[in-house]
Structures are given as C-alpha cells and as structure tokens.
Amino acid sequence: MPDEKNVNFKVKKEVSRKDICFSMERVPGTGRLYFGSSDGGVYDIDLTSGKPEAKRCEGNGHTSYVTGVALTEKHIVTGAYDKHLAWWDRESGRLVRRQMAHNKWLRGVELSPDGRLIASVADDMVCRLWDAETGKLFKELRGHKIRTPHDYPSMLFCATFNSDGSRLATADKPGHIIVWDVKTGKQIKTMESSGMYTWDPSQRRHSIGGVRSLCFSPDGKTLTAGGIGKIGNIDHLGAKARMEIFDCEKGESLKVLEGGDKFKGLVEHLLWHPEGDWIVAGGGDHNGWLLFIDPESKKIIREEKAPMHIHEFAFNEKTDHIFAVGHNKLARWELEA
C-alpha cells in the first residue's frame, strides 16, 4: 500500500450521462461495471476502454431508480425503488426474472461473501435475505421502526455483510443500526448514530439525513457508519460528511469523524481498502468527493474532490484504480505511488 501522502490521485476517465447512476458492481479482474440508473435501466460499460459505451441490459426489469447491483456467479441481481428485485443473465445481459421484494422503495442489495445470499433493504423497514440465484426468500429481518421519532415514515438505507458472512448490519434514517446473526436472523447488537439524523422542529418541520452507508472492518471488530452531520438549513445537504466508527463487540461508539468545510453532504458509500490500510468514503452534496480515513488513528488523512456526487464506488484488485458512479457521470481514478 503506497504512503497516502505520496499517492498521485488522478481522474483518468470521465463519462458524462444524462441520468443519475445510483449503484454499481465491478466485474472482477476487469474495468467493466454493471450500473443501475435513474432511467430504470441496468447498463454494462468498460471504463478502461478508449471510448466507453454503456450497453443497456435487455428487458423491462425496473420502472424506477435502480439502487442496488450485485453480481452472483450467473446473474446480475438488481433492486430498485419500484420495490422489485431483478435477475439478469450475465452472459447475455437479458432479463431472467423479476419479483416483488418489498412494499416500499428498495434502497440497496448486497451479496454475501460466499455468494449464496442477497440481502435487500427497503423503506418497509425490512431486510430480506434471498437465495442469490433462485430468488427464494430465506429470511426476514425485522427490527427497524417504521416511523421516525417524529411520526413520519422512516427509511432503511443500507446493509453490509462482514467478511465471513456470519453478520449483517443494517441502518435507518434516525440512525439506528442493527447487527444481525445471518444464520438465525436474531439481533446481535444495536447501535445508535443519531448524529446522522436532523429533525427541524421549528424552522422547516421535516427531517433529513440518516445512515446511508456501512462497512465492517476486515476482522469484523469495528463497523463504520456514514451519513451527514446535523444540518442547520435542511433545505440543502449543508453539513459536513460524517462517519462514526463503532466497536461491534461492545456496541459503543469509538470515534466520530467529519469531513472538512469543503466536503459537505452524504457519505453514500464506504469501503475498506482491500489490504485494510484505508477506509474510503464517497459521496457529496451538489459536488462530490472521496475521503480517506486511517483506521489506526481514526483520522481523515486525505480529501479529494470528485467530478460528481458519488453514489457508489469500488477498487480494483490491485487497488490502483477506483471506479465510481454518480450524478450524471461515471469516473475512473488512477492511484499512482
């Protein structure tokens, strides 16, 4: 892992689009991405090619924003605000089937490390575990409240598995985080990151924020949650990006980190560097950024502007490239030592 101070961090490719790209998964060993779009489409693009061109997968899988993409051995599995999961054949890019998965917006899908389960989270406040290939329901995880503390419909934004797939964490709008035992479906630990949720009782009388992203450390001992800090003017995403690191054993908050003044908005996605050297956060407000956190010192060690509000990103295997999708744009960065 290069010394972060000496990394040369360059955008090598930008692809402008008219849509909003909410979700992605990189095809291992390549620069190819499958990404989900605001136009309801699922697209295939190679960001390492000279002139990347997005090819839309065939079939009417979704009718609204595609907010989750996962790659199983045979399929591309996608989830969308239309409440459906869809399975697409990886070879042909054609729709295999779609099924109603939730009663409200489906916010994301995650594949278990062994590739056997798909977790989907939605604003019906249920996390459902599905057989990744057949789509058969395996388990329902219920524990998030359906209303916010101020009696409005809540939202269940994100889920993530730990590295051995035995645990799954989910997080909602008021900042309630639950760690589940995947096999039994029981709650192991709960944590609160209420600093991510802003309710304005006097000026504007609605809420904003929530925990938008989660990632376990490779050893599973800590869990990092991402979102936005308390917002003064909730018309805008006008607060610093916020991350909170929890001790999974004790369920205690270890550290709260905030982006700099120029790095406001939501932490939409969190990733541990494959070698465990960094935690990387991507997100934004009207603009976008990537933040790099040293897990040892639990400090933000580098902040980089991005060409768009980032919704999801991934490293390649060598960790010398980052691929990202976001608002009206896709991008690839190169990290040179």
Q: Residue numbers of the site for other proteins (CB under 8 A)? A: 18-20, 38-40, 63-65, 81-82, 105, 123, 151-153, 155, 202-208, 234-238, 265, 284-288, 308-309, 327-328
CA distances from 100 to 85, 87, 108, 129, 213 (A): 6, 12, 14, 13, 24
Nearer to other proteins, 42 or 335 (CB): 42
Provide the minimum distance between the beta carbon of 245 and other proteins in the complex, in angstroms, as a whole number: 25
Nearer to other proteins, 111 or 290 (CB): 290
Helix (H, G, I), strand (E, B) or coil at 102: coil
Q: Which residues contact 70 (CB under 8 A, 6 or more apart)?
A: 25, 76, 77, 78, 109, 110, 111, 118, 132
Distance CA 293, CA 112 (A): 25
Provide the minimum distance between the beta carbon of 331 and other proteins in the complex, in angstroms, as a whole number: 14
Nearer to other proteins, 225 or 245 (CB): 225
CB 288 within 8 A of CB 306: yes
Nearer to other proteins, 111 or 331 (CB): 331
Provide the minimum distance between the beta carbon of 286 and other proteins in the complex, in angstroms, as a whole number: 4
Nearer to other proteins, 72 or 198 (CB): 198
DSSP 8-state class, residue 211: -
For the chain, counts of helices (H) and of strands (E)? 0, 28
Provide the minimum distance between the beta carbon of 69 and other proteins in the complex, in angstroms, as a whole number: 16
Distance CA 328, CA 61 (A): 21
Q: Is 11 exposed, middle or buried (0-12, 13-18, 19+ CB in 10 A)?
A: middle
> In the structure encoding, which two tokens stand for residue 183, read together?
């096999």
Nearer to other proteins, 38 or 170 (CB): 38
> In the structure encoding, which two tokens stand for residue 8, read together?
């040369």
Provide the minimum distance between the beta carbon of 172 and other proteins in the complex, in angstroms, as a whole number: 12
Provide the minimum distance between the beta carbon of 158 and other proteins in the complex, in angstroms, as a whole number: 14
